[in-house]
């Protein structure tokens, strides 16, 4: 039985019901005096509670897909498929290239995808298509599952020589691509916006930044450990460019996410502006810190302080030149803890970096809030990314996007995704 299957949930619920029934039936025997009876009562109550909690955890995991398999739950992670061999270096995750026989993007099972509601149905040239794949990192050896949404135009003859902009959507921790597709409704929202003309045709890639579950690596290259930043900033774009007609210029690449995925989106854009020029972060943090789920992210030795500062976005804004990127941050004024930090981040941004914001009055750190913020965030991102780009590099065409705009300014988006009239000090 798979960890996320309904059969597992039903079995655990039935087992919990049996434990409760046995506890009630046998309790009179356990009520007698004596140390054995006391021990029996403790074991019976403890076992029943553990089974009930396990049943609830299985149901919760089946609904939100935090862990996709028993191996992930216990830390046994697939690192490389058959055909990937190490070349000239120590283990996976050290940054040494691996020799890959076969494609960097390969088909994957549809078990999770089949449970997502509202996906395109019909001819791909009319409704688009969502593919379930696994992405193989040539440098890191990481194998990560992903959903890829291809818009209808991708399959239409009029666009057969066009490269499309890309938005990489990152889940939070310990989230999954199922959360992005089912609960955040990434592809469904993008499809609706594109059909209504509020968003240009864009390839949406849903992927999790948790490449070494159950550890939360926060998109950091851990010394001697998982190389998450390398995978997301180098391996992932290389793999997608090898498999799909997507833009080869950074102006066509954006990244977004919620919670820790939003933090990753900001980190990637500010640290790797030659890869991602646009980010949208829903309820992010602005500094990476060690905690029980991350372990030691920065290692020891004289370089530790520099590594910590490098992942502190407020420190970067104060001490390093601002990258020429556009970012959007979203945080509720009431109901989320990060509003003061978000305001401080917005005020700290300086040219040539640009920042926009979605600041609703009320909201919580949950999917209903992020679903409301998704349409304006995607519309804003779409206006930053260049399109179309011709398949032949020397004939690249650029549409109205980040490359055509002044690279400075602050803005707050309205609920419909439009920007208000600039305030004093904002250049257009």
Q: What is the pLDDT of residues 242-297, one digit of tens each?
A: 999 999 999 999 999 999 999 999 999 999 999 999 999 999 999 999 999 999 99
Provide the pLDDT for residue 183.
Answer: 94
Q: Which one, of 330, 323, 335, 333, lies nearest residue 412 by Cα?
A: 330
Q: Tell me, what's the pLDDT at 401?
A: 39
Question: Does the structural domain 84-412 have CATH classification 2.30.38.10?
Answer: no
Between CA 190 and CA 203 the distance in angstroms is: 9
Q: What are the helix (H) ranges across 74-210?
A: 124-127, 177-178, 186-195
Copy the structure tokens of residue 89: 């270096």
Q: Burial letters for 264-301: b for 16+ Cβ neighbours within 10 Å, e otherwise?
A: bbbbbbbbbbebbbbbbbbbbbbebeeeeebeebbeee
- Please calculate the CA angle 411-414-417 and round it to the nearest 5 degrees: 95
Q: Kindly give the parts of the chain with pLDDT less than 50.
A: 77-95, 394-408, 414-428
Q: Which pLDDT tens digit goes with each residue over 334-353?
A: 999 999 999 999 999 999 99
Round to whole Å and give the CA distance between 167 and 172: 16
Q: What is the pTM of this model?
A: 0.76
Joined tokens for residue 378 = 């995607």
Average pLDDT over the chain, rounded to whole?
84
Contacts of 279 (CB under 8 A, 6+ apart): 254, 255, 256, 265, 266, 268, 269, 270, 325, 326, 327, 328
Say what the pLDDT of residue 26 is.
Answer: 81
What is the four-CA torsion angle of 341, 234, 206, 68, rounded to 10 degrees? -100
What is the structure's pLDDT at 381?
98
Which residues on adjacent β-strands are paired with residue 246? 164
Phi/psi of residue 269, each to 5°?
-70, -40
């Amino acid at each position: 039985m798979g960890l996320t299957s309904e059969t597992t949930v039903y079995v655990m619920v039935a087992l919990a019901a049996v434990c409760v029934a046995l506890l009630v039936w046998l309790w009179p025997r356990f009520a007698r005096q004596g140390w054995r009876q006391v021990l029996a009562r403790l074991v019976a109550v403890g076992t029943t509670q553990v089974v009930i909690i396990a049943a609830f955890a299985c149901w919760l995991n089946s609904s939100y897909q935090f862990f996709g398999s028993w191996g992930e739950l216990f830390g046994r992670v697939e690192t490389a498929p058959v055909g990937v061999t190490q070349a000239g270096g120590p283990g996976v995750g050290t940054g040494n290239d691996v020799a890959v026989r076969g494609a960097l993007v390969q088909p994957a099972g549809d078990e999770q995808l089949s449970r997502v509601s509202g996906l395109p149905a019909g001819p791909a040239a009319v409704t688009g298509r969502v593919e379930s794949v696994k992405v193989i990192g040539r440098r890191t050896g990481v194998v990560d599952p992903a959903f890829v949404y291809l818009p209808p135009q991708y399959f239409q003859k009029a666009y057969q020589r066009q490269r499309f902009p890309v938005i990489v959507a990152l889940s939070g921790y310990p989230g999954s691509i199922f959360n992005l597709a089912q609960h955040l409704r990434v592809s469904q929202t993008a499809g609706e916006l594109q059909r209504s003309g509020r968003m240009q045709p864009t390839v949406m890639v849903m992927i999790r930044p948790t490449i070494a579950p159950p550890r939360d690596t926060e998109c950091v290259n851990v010394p001697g450990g998982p190389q998450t930043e390398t995978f997301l900033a180098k391996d992932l774009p290389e793999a997608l460019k090898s498999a799909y007609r997507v833009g080869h210029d950074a102006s066509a690449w954006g990244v977004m996410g919620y919670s820790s995925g939003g933090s990753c989106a900001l980190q990637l854009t500010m640290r790797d502006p030659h890869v991602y020029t646009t980010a949208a972060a829903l309820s992010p943090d602005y500094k990476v810190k060690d905690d029980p789920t991350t372990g030691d992210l920065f290692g020891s030795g004289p370089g530790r302080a520099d590594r910590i500062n490098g992942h502190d976005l407020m420190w970067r804004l104060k001490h390093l030149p601002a990258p020429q990127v556009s970012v959007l941050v979203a945080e509720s004024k009431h109901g989320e803890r990060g509003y003061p930090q978000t305001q401080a981040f917005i005020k700290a941004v300086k040219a040539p970096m640009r920042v926009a914001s979605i600041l609703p009055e009320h909201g919580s750190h949950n999917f209903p809030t992020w679903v409301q913020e998704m349409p304006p965030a995607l519309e804003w991102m779409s206006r930053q990314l260049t399109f179309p780009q011709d398949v032949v590099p020397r004939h690249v065409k650029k549409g109205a996007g980040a490359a055509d705009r002044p690279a400075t300014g602050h803005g707050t988006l309205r609920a419909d995704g439009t920007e208000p009239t600039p305030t004093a000090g904002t250049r257009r």
